[in-house]
């Protein structure tokens, strides 16, 4: 019964999406306000029905209803409740349902908070949202129905892939999808603007908070996925340049560019055509990411199913939306008026530079990700493009970007004073040089690139702080005055400071982890001691334990620091999941400041030793602390009064009678 | 500067960055990509010792030997040719005899493949996609012989979750 309700609700949502996709457009064409307002109620009703559908699937999982194929294949009655719920999107069908739920959520949010949008713009935006939604409802209903029943229900399910039975599954996919799908709003706004042939600074003011929200979620989603891979896979790696990771990095890069170009558009009414293009590209890359991950062209933990019809269907959606929107762009972009002028050396110029490097870096990731697929189709050769490729292409493009980053906020709009900005960045530059010199002396003979990269990171952080010092007149005005100024600063300025500093912080973590990571790989017998990074780890013993749906083999290590004081106990384990006859490695982590000790278990050797991997990873936590700072900066910026979702202030007049614009 | 000059400056700058990026990409594609081969393709293509590539195939039954200090050796086969492999370190959770494997490294002068990475790029049937494709191409792939757990659902699109490396 519940499955049928869920299925039926999804069909109704499709019907509503079809109404929402057509009626408002007709309404805008004949300038009928009543028809245009249909978009709002349709979007809200659609959200309601999708939530019913999603709730139904969740209920099926929670009650372990093994008459539903999807539940059989991905659940187990003994699975803890948390994983029963997160298992809903731990499979292809359910994750697509989550995708459309979030799409409907964003549509609903625009409908609910877009009361101050011009009526025709809102109608168009919601209609475009509904086009996307229609395509994905059809995809789910035709190729990936999560509510399919099985004729002879088994007594027990096949359990969820053990790697996915982790708290990470509760956070990573929803965050990532909020980011991916959130960019659909800026896409819809862009397409609506092209249809209307009208775009202004107010348009940018509406688009920016939505883009920012999506960007925050995507940043957190990527960071969470990276940390999850780090502790779950047992290799201590946090980024593999895997195509699936790249699929999420590409929209992030172009989304970051979009965020910055939207600022120029809002403040200076320039870069309109470019901003529209970026909005289209960003969501196109999100769709591409969905295609790469969901179609089964890539083998990874994310590719749940490899059914060719699904791949073809998503490819079709991809072609229609990307091709259609780009064609519309080519046709209509010239109708948009060019905006304000600016000198190359200005805030606008710096933001153009930012966009240039971000999109170029994004293009290199694009090539590195798709080249192997293209080559295989063309010549049949199988190649892998891994970290070396990206280190040689992506990294060199990020260096000038980071060098230029501190200058941006210090330059004035329209015409900037580069000499003045350099002068104000003197302190940051000196700090960077000192950091480089100290590191150079300390690690003499070691990697020469690392001190340079740390210097760059210090420059970025120092630059972000310089901007703050400059604006508050700290050190020049009395302290109390500076504090008052700091309080008076717009939150968006604080957001910039935090986000930019976050980039530097992440870079420090990345460089330290990759350069000064020490490891021990070997076999230990009980009582054996391994020394890594100045810490002595003693294997105290091996024990067995029964978990809810697995058996665990646990090793206990006592850890002593250089002085011989015991600082903690680490218990890495290996879990054997009977239902799937597979095992996972549960690494143990011991955090010291921002550094971590990392222990994961291998197999038991012939002579009774336990093989282990032990890593000491200096400042590794900064890698994820950086993105957290960026997201926090984004949140601050989002809470800026000027940018509050739904801004600007609605006029106090009867809206329903306004003629459509 | 006039509007035109400004625009030219920016377009020129953009083209410069794009040219540099294109150079970087071409350079990196020449040096840092890794090809995939099965043992048969290794002898066919006469891959020189020292060239890095990814070797894929099945781990031969009974060929796995463990030495001191986590040294292991095993033989990779694709049905028509075999290649001995040595590796030092911890094998991934899903490494089994008689199952598929992908290893990255190079052949030494003695003709032994020295792997520095053994990838856990498997699905739950212990079959890496590259290996499956290569074996299918050689006509050595039998559907259903992969030990897939069978339950009461007859669905050809069974989910195949996979562990990334």
- Which spans in A307-346 are helix H? 308-332
The beta-carbon neighbor of B161 closest among A72, A154, A301 is A301
Which residue among A72, A353, A388 sits closest to B153, beta carbon to beta carbon?
A: A72
Q: How confident is the model at residue A420 (pLDDT cuts 50, 70, 90)?
A: confident
In A456-499, the DSSP E strands lie at none
Contacts of B149 in chain A (CB under 8 A): 158, 580-581
For residue A444, is pLDDT > 80?
Answer: no
Distance CA B56, CA B78 (A): 8
The partner residue sitting opposite B160, judged by closest CB among A305, A367, A393, is: A305
pTM equals: 0.90
Name the residue in chain A with its Cα closest to that of B7.
A344
- Eight-class DSSP state of B36: E
Q: What is the pLDDT of residue A445?
A: 63
Q: Find chain B residues with C-beta within 8 A of A158's C-beta.
A: 149, 151
Q: Is the pLDDT of residue A546 over 60?
A: yes
Give the residue-averaged pLDDT of A398-411. Answer: 93
Label each residue of A65-108 as H, E or C: CCCEHHHHHHCCCCCCHHHHHHHHHCCHHHHHHHHHHHHHHHHH
Contacts of B158 in chain A (CB under 8 A): 73, 305
- Check residue B129 and give its pLDDT: 65
Question: For B30, which residue in chain A has the nearest alpha carbon?
Answer: A389
Reply yes or no on whether the pLDDT at A43 is more than 90: yes
**Overall average pLDDT of the A540-549 stretch:** 88
CB contact under 8 A, A521 and B70: yes
Helix (H) or strand (E) holding A589: strand A588-592
CB contact under 8 A, A392 and B158: no
Greater model confidence, A637 or A414: A637
Nearest Cα of chain B lies from the Cα of A1 at a distance, in angstroms, of: 20
Cβ neighbours of A580 in B, within 8 Å: 124, 149
pLDDT score for B31: 80
What pLDDT is stored for residue A440 in this prediction?
87
Which 3 state secondary structure label does DSSP give A601?
Answer: strand
Total Cβ atoms within 10 A of residue A652: 6
Q: Cβ of B25 and A393 within 8 Å?
A: yes
CA distance A441 to A421: 30
Nearest to B159 among A233, A244, A304 (CB): A304
Which of B17, B33, B34 is nearest residue A360 as measured by Cβ atoms? B17
pLDDT value of residue A495: 94
| Residue A280 tokens, joined | 């289209």
Q: How far apart are CA A49 and CA A17, in angstroms?
A: 11
B52-78 pLDDT tens trace: 888 888 888 888 888 877 888 999 988
- Beta strand B122-123 pairing with B113-119: unpaired
CA dist A70 and A146 (Å) reads 6
**Segment A301-330 mean pLDDT:** 81
Distance from CA of B155 to the nearest CA of A (A): 9
**Best of B34, B93, B124 to disrupt the A interface by mutation (most A CBs within 10 Å)?**
B93
Q: Are B152 and A304 within 8 A, CB to CB?
A: no
Using the beta-carbon criterion (under 8 Å), do B36 and A352 form an inter-chain contact?
Answer: no
Nearest CB to B29: which of A305, A386, A389?
Answer: A389
Judged against a pLDDT cut of 70, whether residue B150 lies above it is answered with no
The strand pairing partners of B82, in sequence order, are B77
Distances (CA, A) of A575 to A76, A397, A569, B95: 16, 42, 19, 15
Amino acid A476: pLDDT: 82
State residue A38's pLDDT score.
94
As a whole number, the mean pLDDT across chain A is: 89
Using an 8 Å CB-CB cutoff, list chain B residues near A371: 29
Q: What is the pLDDT of residue A272?
A: 87
Best residue in A94, A156, A341, A389 for a mutation probing chain B (most B CBs within 10 Å): A389
For chain B, strand residue ranges (E) read: 33-37, 53-59, 65-66, 71-77, 82-88, 100-107, 113-119, 122-123, 162-163
Cα A624 from Cα A188, distance rounded (Å): 31
| Mean pLDDT comparison of A311-315, A360-364, A550-554, B118-122, highest-scoring range | A360-364
Reading the block at residue A355, the tokens are 């966009």
Mean pLDDT on B26-32:
86
Pairwise pLDDT comparison (A232 vs A463), residue with the higher score: A463
The percent of chain B in helix, strand and coil, each rounded to the nearest 5, is: 30, 30, 40
> A500: burial class by Cβ within 10 Å (0-12, 13-18, 19+)?
buried
| Per-residue confidence band for A313, with pLDDT thresholds at 50, 70 and 90 | confident
Please give the pLDDT value at position A327: 95
**What pLDDT band is residue B135 in, cutting at 50, 70 and 90?**
low
- Does the pLDDT value for residue A35 go beyond 60? yes
- Put simply, the answer to whether A92 touches B27 (Cβ < 8 Å) is no
Distance (Å) from the alpha carbon of A559 to chain B's nearest alpha carbon: 22
* Chain B residues within 8 A of A303 when measuring between CB atoms: 160, 162
The helix or strand, by DSSP H or E, that contains position A521, with its residue range, turns out to be strand A518-524
pLDDT, mean of residues A172-191: 94
- How far B59 CA lies from chain A's nearest CA (Å)? 17
Distance from CA of B13 to the nearest CA of A (A): 9
Residue B155 to residue A69, Cβ atoms within 8 A? yes
CB contact under 8 A, A233 and B164: yes
Q: What gap in Å lies between CA A183 and CA A288, rounded to an integer?
A: 13
Indicate whether B146 pLDDT > 50.
no
pLDDT (0 to 100) of residue A299:
53
Contact A356 B89 (CB under 8 A): no
Question: Å from A388 to nearest chain B CA?
Answer: 6
Select from A353, A603, A612 the Cβ nearest to the Cβ of B91. Answer: A603
Between A136 and A241, the more confident residue is: A136
Task: Give pLDDT, residue B162.
Answer: 37
Closest chain A C-alpha to B111 CA, distance in angstroms: 22
Residue contacts between A and B (CB atoms, under 8 Å): 163
Beta-ladder partners of B58: B77, B100
Measured between beta carbons, which residues in chain A are less than 8 angstroms from residue B6? 341-344
Task: Give the chain A residue nearest B104 (alpha carbons).
Answer: A384
The percent of residues above 90 in pLDDT, for chain A, comes to 58
Residue A535, pLDDT score:
93
Whether residue B148 is predicted with pLDDT greater than 90 in this model: the reply is: no
- Minimal C-alpha gap between B3 and chain A (Å): 7
The number of beta carbons lying within 10 Å of the beta carbon of residue A107 is 31
Per DSSP, the three-state class of B147 is coil
pLDDT at residue number B158: 33
A342 alpha carbon, distance to own chain's centre:
32
Cβ contact B90–A521 (<8 Å): yes
pLDDT of residue B120: 57
pLDDT at A296: 65
- Band (pLDDT 50/70/90 cuts) for residue A625 is very high
pLDDT at residue B9 is higher than 50: yes
Query: How far apart, in whole angstroms, are the C-alpha atoms of residue A591 and residue A568?
Result: 10
Q: Which two tokens stand for residue A368?
A: 């590195």
| pLDDT score of B36 | 84
In this predicted model, which residue has the larger pLDDT, A248 or B159? A248
More confident residue, A86 or A647: A86
Distance from CA of B107 to the nearest CA of A (A): 17
Task: Report the pLDDT value the prediction gives residue A312, as an integer from 0 to 100.
Answer: 83
Q: How confident is the model at residue B136 (pLDDT cuts 50, 70, 90)?
A: low
pLDDT for position A271: 86
How close A599 gets to chain B, by Cα (Å)? 13
Q: Return the residue matching tokens 């020049």.
A: A476
Q: Helix count (H) and strand count (E) of chain A? A: 20, 11
Chain B residues with CB-CB distance to A344 below 8 A: 6, 9-10, 13
Can you read off the two tokens belonging to residue A395?
């990294």
From the CA of A440, how many Å to the nearest CA of chain B? Answer: 28
Nearest CA in chain B to A241: B165
- What would the mean pLDDT of A556-560 be, rounded to a whole number? 94
Work out the average pLDDT over A258-280: 90
Q: Quick one: average pLDDT of A102-117?
A: 92
Instruction: Give the range with max mean pLDDT: A135-139, B98-102, B125-129.
Output: A135-139
Find the mean pLDDT for residues A1-21: 96
Chain segment A466-477, per-residue pLDDT in tens: 999 988 888 888
- Higher per-residue pLDDT: A285 or A270: A285
ipTM: 0.79
Range of weakest confidence among A50-59, A346-355, A636-645: A636-645
Report the percentage of chain A scoring pLDDT > 70.
Answer: 94
Q: In chain A, whose CA is at the least distance from the CA of B133?
A: A382
C-alpha span between B116 and B135 (Å, rounded): 24
A234 contacts on B by Cβ (under 8 Å)? 93
Taking chain A, what is the end-to-end CA distance rounded to the nearest angstrom?
A: 47
Please compute, for residue A452, the number of CA atoms within 13 A of its CA located in the half-sphere on the CB side.
7
**In the predicted structure, residue A650 carries a pLDDT above the cut 70:** no
Which of B10, B27, B152 lies closest to A344 in CB terms?
A: B10
Averaged over A557-574, what is the pLDDT? 92
> Residues A393, A447, A367, CA angle at the centre, nearest 5°?
10
Residue A464 has what pLDDT?
94
């Amino acid at each position: 019964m519940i499955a049928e309700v869920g299925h039926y609700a999804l069909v109704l949502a499709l019907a509503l999406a079809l109404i929402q996709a057509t009626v408002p457009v007709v309404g805008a064409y004949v300038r009928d306000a009543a028809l245009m307002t249909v978009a709002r109620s349709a979007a809200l009703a659609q959200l309601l029905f999708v939530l019913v559908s999603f709730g139904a699937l969740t209920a099926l999982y929670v009650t372990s209803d093994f008459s539903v194929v999807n539940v059989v294949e991905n659940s187990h009655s003994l699975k803890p409740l948390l994983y029963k719920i997160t298992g809903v999107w731990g499979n292809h069908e359910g994750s697509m349902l989550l995708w459309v739920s979030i799409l409907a959520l964003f549509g609903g949010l625009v409908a609910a908070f877009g009361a101050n949008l011009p009526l025709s713009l809102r109608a168009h935006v919601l209609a475009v949202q509904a086009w996307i939604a229609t395509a994905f409802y059809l995809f789910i209903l035709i190729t990936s129905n999560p509510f399919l029943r099985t004729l002879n229900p088994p007594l027990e399910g096949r359990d969820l892939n053990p790697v996915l039975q982790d708290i990470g599954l509760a956070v990573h996919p929803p965050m990532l999808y909020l980011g991916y799908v959130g960019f659909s709003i800026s896409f819809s706004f862009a397409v609506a603007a092209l249809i209307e042939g009208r775009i202004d600074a107010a348009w940018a003011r509406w688009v920016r908070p939505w883009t920012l929200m999506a960007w925050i979620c995507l940043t957190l989603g990527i960071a969470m996925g990276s940390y999850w891979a780090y502790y779950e896979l047992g290799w201590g790696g946090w980024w593999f340049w895997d195509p699936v990771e790249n699929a999420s990095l590409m929209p992030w890069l172009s989304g970051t560019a979009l965020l910055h170009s939207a600022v120029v558009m809002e403040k200076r009414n320039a870069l309109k055509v470019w901003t529209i293009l970026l909005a289209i590209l960003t969501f196109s890359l999100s769709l591409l990411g969905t295609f790469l991950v969901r179609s089964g062209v890539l083998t990874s933990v994310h590719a749940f199913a490899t059914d060719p019809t699904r791949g073809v269907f998503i490819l079709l959606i991809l072609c229609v939306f990307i091709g259609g929107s780009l064609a519309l762009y080519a046709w209509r972009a010239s109708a948009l008026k060019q905006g304000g002028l600016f000198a190359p050396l200005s805030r606008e110029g710096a933001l153009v530079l930012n966009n240039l490097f971000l999109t170029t870096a994004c293009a290199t990731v694009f090539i590195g990700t798709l080249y192997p697929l293209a080559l295989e189709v063309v010549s049949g050769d199988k190649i892998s493009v891994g970290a070396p490729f990206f280190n040689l292409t992506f990294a060199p493009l990020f260096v000038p970007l980071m060098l230029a980053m501190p200058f941006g906020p210090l330059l004035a709009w329209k015409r900037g004073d580069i000499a003045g900005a350099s002068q104000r960045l003197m302190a940051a530059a000196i700090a960077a040089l000192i950091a480089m010199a100290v590191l150079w002396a300390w690690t003499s003979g070691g990697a020469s690139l690392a001190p340079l990269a740390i210097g760059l990171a210090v420059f970025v952080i120092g630059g972000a702080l310089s901007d703050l010092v400059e604006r508050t007149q700290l050190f020049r005005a009395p302290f109390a005055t500076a504090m008052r100024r700091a309080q008076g600063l717009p939150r968006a300025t604080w957001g910039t400071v935090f986000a930019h500093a976050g980039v530097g912080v992440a870079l420090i973590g990345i460089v330290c982890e990759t350069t000064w990571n020490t490891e021990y790989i070997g076999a230990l017998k009980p009582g054996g001691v391994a020394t890594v990074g100045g810490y002595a780890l003693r294997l105290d013993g091996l024990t067995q334990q029964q978990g809810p749906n697995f058996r665990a083999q646990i090793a206990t290590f006592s850890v002593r620091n250089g002085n011989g004081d015991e600082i903690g106990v680490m218990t890495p384990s290996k879990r054997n999941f009977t239902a799937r006859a597979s095992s996972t490695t549960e690494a143990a982590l011991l955090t010291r400041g921002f550094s971590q000790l990392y222990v994961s278990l291998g197999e038991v050797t012939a002579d009774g030793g336990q093989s282990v991997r032990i890593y000491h990873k200096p400042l590794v936590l900064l890698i994820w602390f950086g993105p957290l700072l960026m997201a926090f900066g984004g949140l601050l910026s989002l809470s800026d009064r000027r940018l509050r979702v739904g801004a600007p202030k609605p006029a106090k007049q009867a809206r329903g009678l306004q003629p459509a614009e | 500067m006039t509007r035109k000059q400004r625009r030219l400056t920016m377009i020129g700058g953009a083209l410069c960055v794009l040219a540099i990026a294109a150079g970087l990409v071409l350079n990196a594609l020449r040096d840092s990509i890794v090809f995939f081969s099965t043992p048969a393709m290794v002898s066919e293509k006469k891959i020189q010792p020292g060239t890095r590539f990814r070797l894929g195939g099945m781990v031969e039954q009974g060929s796995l030997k463990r030495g001191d200090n986590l040294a292991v050796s095993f033989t990779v086969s694709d049905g028509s040719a075999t290649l001995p492999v040595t590796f030092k370190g911890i094998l991934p959770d899903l490494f089994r005899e008689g199952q598929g494997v992908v290893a990255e490294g190079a052949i030494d002068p003695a003709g032994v493949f020295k792997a520095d990475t053994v990838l856990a790029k498997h699905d739950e049937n212990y079959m890496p996609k590259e290996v499956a494709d290569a074996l299918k191409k050689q006509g050595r792939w039998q559907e259903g012989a992969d030990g897939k757990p069978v339950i009461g659902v007859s669905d050809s699109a069974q989910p195949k979750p996979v562990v990334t490396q």
